[in-house]
A = this chain, B = another copy of it.
């Protein structure tokens, strides 16, 4: 039996493989939009009905710590999570359908460096998030 790559990664981090984790991980991995813990709970229970909400919280925490998902900040709240393939990426969210598109922030580096010079800050982290309408919704 071959496991989803996410589960393999969790396992390598010392997490045991369980039905609950499989259900939560696959729900997140298959979603192209941000999901709240409750949404994950409802969706993952279709595959694993015995799942408890507390376990959803704990598994999301594990997935975030492992770098497989990231928290999404939105005007309405900051409780949602979305896949984070390949580490640090920037988000572009559709305000209509909720779809999320990831993009690299290569051009951002220059901007950040010049801001660091101007302000005297040693900048260690950055967040860029865009909102708009995706090609289908506009």
Contact = CB atoms under 8 A, between A and B. Distances in A.
A118 B121 CA distance: 31
Kindly report how many copies of this chain are found in the complex they form together.
2
A123 to B, nearest CB: 4
A126 B128 contact: yes
A112 B92 CA distance: 10
Nearest to A121: B132
Contacts of A115: 92, 103, 130
A111 B107 contact: yes
Nearest to A106: B111
Interface of A: 73, 77-78, 92, 94-95, 101, 103, 107-108, 111-112, 114-116, 118-135, 138
B125 A127 contact: no
Name the prevailing secondary structure of the A interface residues: strand
Given A78-B77, A111-B108, A124 B132 contact: yes
Nearest to A125: B131
B111 A133 contact: no
Contacts of A126: 128-131
Nearest to A116: B132
11 contacts: A73-B78, A77-B78, A92-B115, A94-B121, A95-B124, A107-B111, A115-B130, A121-B134, A123-B130, A125-B131, A127-B131
B119 A103 contact: yes
